[in-house]
Amino acid sequence: MPARKPSAKAVWNQPAPNTGGARKLTSKSKALAKAAAQKAGRPYPNLIDNMMAAQKQSQEKPA
């Protein structure tokens, strides 16, 4: 993941990108986000865990 610029807004303060609708996480992606949260000591996934899982999900789709 690229380094964030000091003047850049935090991800939760940015508007959602216009992607034509919300991306639904598959059960595999949900499990990946849950595992990342548990590894970090959180009981459930946060925004960053879900974004990471959604990004990996979109990279797995065949072009």
Please tell me the predicted confidence (pLDDT) of residue 34. 97
Domain limits for position 36 = 25-63
What does residue 23 show for φ and ψ, rounded to 5 degrees? -90, 125
Determine the pLDDT at residue 6. 64
pLDDT confidence of residue 3: 64
Residue type, 28: K
Instruction: Tell me how far apart the alpha carbons of residues 35 and 22 are, in angstroms, rounded to a whole number.
Output: 22
Kindly give the parts of the chain with pLDDT less than 50: none
The pLDDT score that the predictor gives to residue 8 is 77
- Domain assignment present for residue 1? The answer is no
In sequence order, which residues have a C-beta less than 8 Å from that of residue 45 and are 6 or more positions away? 30, 33, 34, 36, 37, 53
Instruction: At 4, give phi and psi (nearest 5°).
Output: -85, 135
Helix extents (H) in the chain? 27-39, 47-60
pTM confidence score: 0.68
Domain count along the chain: 1
pLDDT at 14: 83
Q: Is residue 51 part of a domain?
A: yes
Q: What is the pLDDT at residue 62?
A: 65
